[in-house]
Structure formats: structure tokens, C-alpha cells
Amino acid sequence: MRLNTIEEINAYYEGKQSGIWLFAHWKDGRQYVGTCGTLLSIAINEAQFEQQKALKELQEGKEIYTV
């Protein structure tokens, strides 16, 4: 899927972050995502970093695609 506008990029990554939050679980007083032991805070930071990178690339005229 191609993301053509700032609004599309923001909507995509807001949805991605919502999914991360929804599937987080507690273990030993910490929140994790998935089965590999990734902390929720790290997963959210990575998604926000990807969002900022996509916004920058869009401003540079590059095409942005999602998987």
C-alpha cells in the first residue's frame, strides 16, 4: 500500500501503535509486546521513529510503501 500524504502516514502509524498497545501484556511488572520479550515502550518508540522517517522521506519526494 502506498502512503501518499502526511495524513495517510499519520493514520497508518497511529493504527500500528494502537495495535501494539492492544496486544501488549504484563509480565513481572513490565509490559511486553509479542513473544520475543520486546518492551512496550521500545516497540512504541520504534513505531514513532518509523513514522518520522516516513514523513521525512515523503518531504524529500520519495515514495512510501507499507508491507
Q: What is the pLDDT along the chain (67 residues), one digit of tens a residue?
A: 899 999 999 999 999 999 999 999 999 999 999 888 999 999 999 999 999 999 999 999 999 998 7
- Domain count of the fold of the chain: 1
HSE-up of residue 63 (Cα within 13 Å, Cβ side): 3
Task: Read off the pTM.
Answer: 0.87
Q: What does residue 41 show for φ and ψ, rounded to 5 degrees?
A: -60, -40
The β-bridge partners of 65 are 2
Task: Check the CA dihedral 29-24-34-45 and report its sign.
Answer: negative
Domain housing 32: 2-65
